[in-house]
Copies of this chain bind each other. A is one copy, B any other.
Amino acid sequence: MKTFPQSVQKLIEHFSKLPGVGPKSASRMAFHVLNMPKESALDFADTIREMKENVQFCNQCFHLAEGPLCSICQDAERDDKIMMVVEDVLDLIAFESTGEFGGRYHVLGGVISPVNGIGPEELNIFSLFKRLKDSGVVQELIVATNPTLEGEATAMYIKQELVDLGNISITRIARGVPTGADLDYADRSTLAKALSGRIQL
């Protein structure tokens, strides 16, 4: 189909490479950009350029940053004694949005997955060990990888590697039934975890 002008065709291709976007939605998105005011579209383009030029990963925790250190690592108010390990930045953002955690983070950039050829050396895992040893003040490390097979395996790997740093308590986020869930729709594994992890009222 050579009926689209070339730049429209190219924009459709760019949109269709985004996660969850098929060719039909990509066309609709390109048309939306075509119909939006010129300033908005140019601002859209500039934002992509600006982001790619300014945003990098924090040298310390691998969160997004506009300089060598991210806003969380720069924040002197946060508690250095507690650190949370997450798979990716979106998980960090999810925990931040609860407002319940005031410690530091460490973003792994993924999970150990032998099937996909991802070992510890592909992740920010050795930098985590180094960071813990160098700092010496962390008392609790919360491992908040996803409750998947690979997330659990990564959590176990971290625990084993840190055995000799006996002074750090390593914890795992709780598993159980999510808020608002319907118990008879919950899977067996979730119910079993909710039962074994029951707490005193």
Contacts and interface: CB of A to CB of B under 8 A. Distances in A.
Interface of A: 1-8, 10-11, 14, 17-21, 25, 27-34, 36, 38, 41-52, 54-55, 63-66, 71-72, 88-90, 92-93, 96-97
B20 A25 contact: yes
Contacts of A48: 11, 33, 41-42, 44-45, 48
A34 B44 CA distance: 14
Contact of A34 (B6, B46, B64, B71): B64
A51 B14 CA distance: 13
Contacts of A65: 5
A47 B14 contact: yes
Contacts of A32: 17-19
B3 A51 contact: no
A47 B10 CA distance: 7
A25 B29 CA distance: 13
